[in-house]
């Protein structure tokens, strides 16, 4: 039985659940967990699909989902990752920043590309040697909980510090750091009232050339800190992972 667990029933968790309901992901049942039970129950009521709401991670694990998607917070990753891996369950991590602080390595952990792409090219370049990665993220002040009327640089520094200061908005920096090396990634965050999309520009200098990647993503309507593409990258990864695990269980 293709059962999927979702930790966190906010904006991203809802998009993932709706995609499952629409048949984009081949799944037989969803198991929802959120520390705020009202969120989980509200999401369940909005779905016309087999859904179970649980009160704890332990209850979620007992139902034996093939894949669990974390869509809650960095703290949720810290609290739950080892317990999930101990049960040999595949885990998709959305709050990627938590992995920079954790000494956890497992083939059961899957990281979506999030609000960017080109990670295949970046990881290939990393094998040869990357000199520098510069990420410039430009967001509307609302996404940064600011109200500036003019363009303003709100952060310049390392990827690790950016992830700590902006835990919900800098998963892109964490993904780049994990794809290359944390010390290679420099981050600039700009609060710009003229933009209404989350814009990420990535410049990479590596042993055999240079790369420039740019992404302009609409923010999620219910959570401007999150790009809509982040949720859809998780859906795509869930679809691939679930199919792979299900096929393996059938052989």
Pairing of strands 90-93, 67-70: parallel
Q: Specify the DSSP element, H or E, that contains 133.
A: strand 130-139
Tokens of residue 120, six digits = 């295949």
Q: CA 67 to CA 180: how far, in whole Å?
A: 26
Q: Specify the DSSP element, H or E, that contains 186.
A: strand 185-191
Which residue shows structure tokens 């917070």? 73
Q: Would you call 241 exposed, middle or buried from its count of C-beta atoms within 10 A (0-12, 13-18, 19+)?
A: buried
**Residues with catalytic roles:** 200
């Amino acid at each position: 039985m293709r059962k999927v667990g979702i930790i966190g029933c906010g904006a991203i968790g809802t998009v993932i659940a709706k995609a499952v309901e629409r048949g984009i992901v081949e799944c037989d049942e969803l198991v929802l967990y959120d520390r705020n039970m009202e969120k989980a129950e509200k999401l369940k009521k909005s779905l016309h699909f087999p859904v179970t709401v649980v009160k704890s991670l332990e209850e979620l694990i007992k139902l034996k989902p093939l894949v669990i998607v974390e869509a809650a917070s960095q703290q949720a990753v810290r609290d739950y990752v080892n317990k999930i891996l101990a049960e040999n369950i595949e885990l998709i991590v959305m709050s990627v920043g938590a992995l920079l602080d954790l000494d956890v390595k497992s083939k059961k952990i899957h990281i979506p590309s999030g609000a960017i792409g080109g990670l295949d090219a970046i990881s290939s370049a990393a094998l040869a040697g990357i000199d520098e990665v510069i990420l410039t993220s430009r967001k509307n002040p609302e996404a940064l909980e600011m109200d500036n009327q003019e363009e303003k640089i709100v952060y310049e520094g390392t990827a690790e510090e950016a992830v700590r200061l902006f835990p919900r908005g800098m998963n892109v920096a964490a993904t780049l750091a994990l794809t290359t090396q944390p010390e290679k990634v420099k981050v600039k965050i700009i609060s710009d009232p003229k933009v209404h999309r989350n814009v990420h520009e990535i410049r990479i200098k590596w042993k055999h050339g240079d790369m420039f990647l740019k992404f302009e993503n609409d923010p999620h309507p219910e959570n401007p800190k999150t790009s809509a593409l982040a949720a859809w990258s998780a859906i795509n990864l869930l679809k691939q992972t679930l199919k792979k695990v299900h096929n393996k269980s059938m052989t």
